[in-house]
Structure 1
């Protein structure tokens, strides 16, 4: 493998000092308390960003962070409030908002800080130990020459994606087809007990934020040594799924191998290719059309099994380095996106079948059968209908027991297709790789149970972080639109409290209606105010 273009460095450069409230030096006596409160008062009176803080000021800043992002159940919250409340300027705001404003004034936070990111400690870069380990693992992650050069394989993703962990290919086998779902082999390169493996379990997943990504593993691995790229061999787990001409799965084999990705394509490129009538010798387009045709049949079968196929429009929000904002509406009728989604679900379904049949401990995603009170069998026609159906769904849960996933319309399911960016997938891949190589899984049922509890809690924290960041940047967009009119659809009503879906960004917010409105009604509303602290948008009738 060629030398890595991406060095093992920190995931992003800190523009401001990083303070860890958990490592705050203890307040030994009243003199220490006096020193750090005086240091904070002087710094705030100076009304300019601080440079390198003194020890007393560092203590005060760390306690300000406790007040700004933690709740009153934090062990240092009461102490922080008792010592710092007299220093903070009084007003109508609560102590958390006052502490946040002080951190902004000191230059520790930006005015659009991700509080959830700070709360859960995900703003801290990789340690030197992890970076050194990752650099060594990246150097060792050399692959043999591709086992099969005849297999045409396609890595299909967004143009901006840098951590590519899946590809697909197809071949005929008599009257059936073999679909190869190729997943980057992270387990063979990153041992679970390595500093990098342990860090991945701590981080649980990559955070995709509008202005940056915070990876689960350092970039020299996630964006280079382990990422699937065209033109060079890559180690993969090959989920070889045999399908009938109607897209019915017959069986699966899981093989550890090395392949050379033939083409790296974007969704837009594939959508364009799928609209063309290819020549007989256009192998790429013919393969993609066959893959898409089978995926459509697989999707139809899931729909008949009760799968939730309908989705609201989604939006990609990107914050540029110059502070500008780009919001792109993602098509929900893209054949390329739907095709890749189907094969990733198929891989998870067949992997679950493979694991269950061999009694390999695994973390399954289960969603009990739900009760949908639907008057029409047709797909929902508006966002109000979509969200009303979503409210009736029971949440999926993680378990060591295989079971049906009602929302996907499959008999069992594991997450296995994103080991570069999801720790749960990494663990499942470790189980599979160990079984393939030694005949035994790496982790026992009890060991996997221990990991599962921590993963689920951290996964939910990561979701809150990404949700908060997404809302923050959309509000920055609306801050520039104050006074202008936006179009919104009513998706929920509780007396006069109305939930809205803004059609230009997908932003969901609440609004106090002065007149009666109905579900699905579309309104023209004027943006009157943006409050970044509460992540709220205030609207009035246009």
Structure 2
């Protein structure tokens, strides 16, 4: 499961990993020494280097960025970045403040368009890649690191070109005005999630994010009111074991990450509204679930003994469940069927007929991660034009029709690569344990088999069996762990 775990309501600490496999004594499991993910890279044909012409353009463009005369000087704003430890491709810097009874969000986004010339060799390569791919042994970046980890990254104490969003909120956290400008900014500090979590708990947070808990909670309350469908699933990840090998782990997500994500979601929703009003842009869309799909989820919840009042919509029902409980986790897994059909919708002659993102409960556009995702560069240009009353650049309009297909393709590759890396690490972790028995929780059922989760190591895999029930705690026997085929299978014990 490569989706994020959900924070407990009102908490300030990490989300607990589901206790779904108690009873088996944990012992270290890791891949053989010297293993890497070269086979995954080869299987998917992932590029190792950038073309020489693209690298040459980067050096030239870094020396001569564009739009310099169009920028306001916002270097006095004490913005900060908040990212995972060790991150170098810093897309976003934030400053939160009071404004009357409401709030003001200053959100600086790396201005990649200052360095990527439309129609050049770098632009062609970036459009071919679509997004940064994250593998345990190193990323396949969207842009050369000279750009993504250097000249365009919002590194601390460096003056950088940015797209600066100024969003005013009322006392309930609802956006009341939006301004988008090109600016020069200087990040005051590079913070990481764990350090921010500790500082907030100790009451000594950086002044730029002191209001993050307040604004974050307000925005999460708004999400439930909008009907946002959020899934509380544990996040598997592959991590180094510190000795040359790899292991699978469950990564608890800090509530500060969710609050920080709300700022990005807020910006994306404001961007979508600007695009819809202007009749031009590109949205990230997920259709609302059909009534029969919701009814099927209700039946699954009832079978699991989960109370779901008839008048409670899915967003509120899921928000009230603690996925640490096995039956609640099974409901969240079953709820993935509510969010099918994700894609991108571009338009240039009025708003499209379908513009909603069911997972967010509103129209939404990607504009906050241009160093890592192609579409954000184009979305930012649309919003800059709309905010200033200027025409949308022709190079943006010309690219819009092809972007949904390009992003859809890169999304599929990213998902497949992530799953392959997890499957590889799972097979490595269990390769010597065929025949062993594990406690497990049933996540999904099918005809003659299903999907189970074991807690140690945290593995999700297919399980053969005719009498599986969602949410059921069972014991399973490992029947296959093949690192070459990246396969792990169990059967009921």
TM-score (norm: length of structure 1): 0.72
Between the aligned partners of 1:506 and 1:369, the Cα distance in structure 2 is 31
Structure 1 position 184, deviation (Å): 0.6
Map Cα deviations across residues 298-352 of structure 1 (whole Å, 9 max, x no partner). 11111122112232010331347964114442224x2210111111111100011
Structure 1 position 183, deviation (Å): 0.8
Between the aligned partners of 1:182 and 1:244, the Cα distance in structure 2 is 20
Match in the other structure for 1:337: 257
Query: Any stretches of 5+ residues in structure 2 without a counterpart?
Result: 1-34, 299-306, 309-316, 347-351
Structure 1 position 148, deviation (Å): 3.4
- The 1:539–1:113 alpha-carbon spacing in structure 2 relative to 1, beyond 3 Å, is farther
Structure 1 position 154, deviation (Å): 1.8
Map Cα deviations across residues 444-463 of structure 1 (whole Å, 9 max, x no partner). 65641133323322321232
The 8 Å contact of residues 79 and 208 in structure 2, kept in 1 or not, is answered as no
Between the aligned partners of 1:183 and 1:506, the Cα distance in structure 2 is 35
- The 1:287–1:227 alpha-carbon spacing in structure 2 relative to 1, beyond 3 Å, is closer
Between the aligned partners of 2:432 and 2:106, the Cα distance in structure 1 is 47
| 1:92-103 equivalences in 2 (<5 Å) | none
> What is the DSSP-based 3-state SS (H/G/I as helix, E as strand, rest coil) of the residue aligned with 2:114?
coil
Match in the other structure for 2:449: 497
Between the aligned partners of 1:111 and 1:180, the Cα distance in structure 2 is 41
Between the aligned partners of 1:530 and 1:318, the Cα distance in structure 2 is 19
Structure 1 position 212, deviation (Å): 1.0
Match in the other structure for 1:45: none
The 8 Å contact of residues 187 and 433 in structure 1, kept in 2 or not, is answered as no
Map Cα deviations across residues 102-145 of structure 1 (whole Å, 9 max, x no partner). xxxxxxxx896535x43543234211111111222233349899
- Asked whether 1:464 is paired with 2:450, we answer no
Between the aligned partners of 2:489 and 2:248, the Cα distance in structure 1 is 20
> What is the DSSP-based 3-state SS (H/G/I as helix, E as strand, rest coil) of the residue aligned with 1:392?
helix
Between the aligned partners of 1:480 and 1:262, the Cα distance in structure 2 is 49
Work out which of the residue numbers 81, 88, 99 in structure 2 matches 1:155. Answer: 81
Between the aligned partners of 2:120 and 2:482, the Cα distance in structure 1 is 44
- Asked whether 1:166 is paired with 2:108, we answer no
Structure 1 position 498, deviation (Å): 1.9
Query: Any stretches of 5+ residues in structure 1 without a counterpart?
Result: 1-109, 279-283
The 8 Å contact of residues 94 and 105 in structure 2, kept in 1 or not, is answered as yes
Match in the other structure for 2:321: 379
The 8 Å contact of residues 252 and 354 in structure 1, kept in 2 or not, is answered as no
Match in the other structure for 1:37: none
Q: How many residues align?
A: 423
- Asked whether 1:507 is paired with 2:462, we answer no
The 8 Å contact of residues 210 and 473 in structure 1, kept in 2 or not, is answered as no
The 8 Å contact of residues 343 and 404 in structure 2, kept in 1 or not, is answered as no
Match in the other structure for 2:28: none
Work out which of the residue numbers 164, 171, 181 in structure 1 matches 2:107. Answer: 181
- Asked whether 1:262 is paired with 2:188, we answer yes
Structure 1 position 234, deviation (Å): 1.5
Structure 1 position 384, deviation (Å): 1.1
Structure 1 position 221, deviation (Å): 0.5
Higher relative contact order (CA 8 A, sep 6+): 2
Between the aligned partners of 2:230 and 2:84, the Cα distance in structure 1 is 21
> What is the DSSP-based 3-state SS (H/G/I as helix, E as strand, rest coil) of the residue aligned with 1:509?
strand
| 1:166-315 equivalences in 2 (<5 Å) | 166-278=92-204, 284-285=205-206, 287-315=208-236
Work out which of the residue numbers 15, 30, 46 in structure 2 matches 1:122. Answer: 46
- The 1:246–1:409 alpha-carbon spacing in structure 2 relative to 1, beyond 3 Å, is same
- The 1:486–1:287 alpha-carbon spacing in structure 2 relative to 1, beyond 3 Å, is farther
Match in the other structure for 1:399: 345
> What is the DSSP-based 3-state SS (H/G/I as helix, E as strand, rest coil) of the residue aligned with 2:107?
strand
Match in the other structure for 2:27: none
Between the aligned partners of 1:152 and 1:475, the Cα distance in structure 2 is 47
Work out which of the residue numbers 362, 369, 374 in structure 1 matches 2:288. Answer: 369
- The 1:300–1:264 alpha-carbon spacing in structure 2 relative to 1, beyond 3 Å, is same
Between the aligned partners of 1:380 and 1:248, the Cα distance in structure 2 is 27
Between the aligned partners of 2:364 and 2:411, the Cα distance in structure 1 is 18
The 8 Å contact of residues 496 and 512 in structure 1, kept in 2 or not, is answered as yes
| 1:322-361 equivalences in 2 (<5 Å) | 323-332=244-253, 334-359=254-279, 361=280
RMSD: 2.8
Match in the other structure for 2:62: 138
- The 1:221–1:434 alpha-carbon spacing in structure 2 relative to 1, beyond 3 Å, is farther
The 8 Å contact of residues 146 and 234 in structure 1, kept in 2 or not, is answered as no
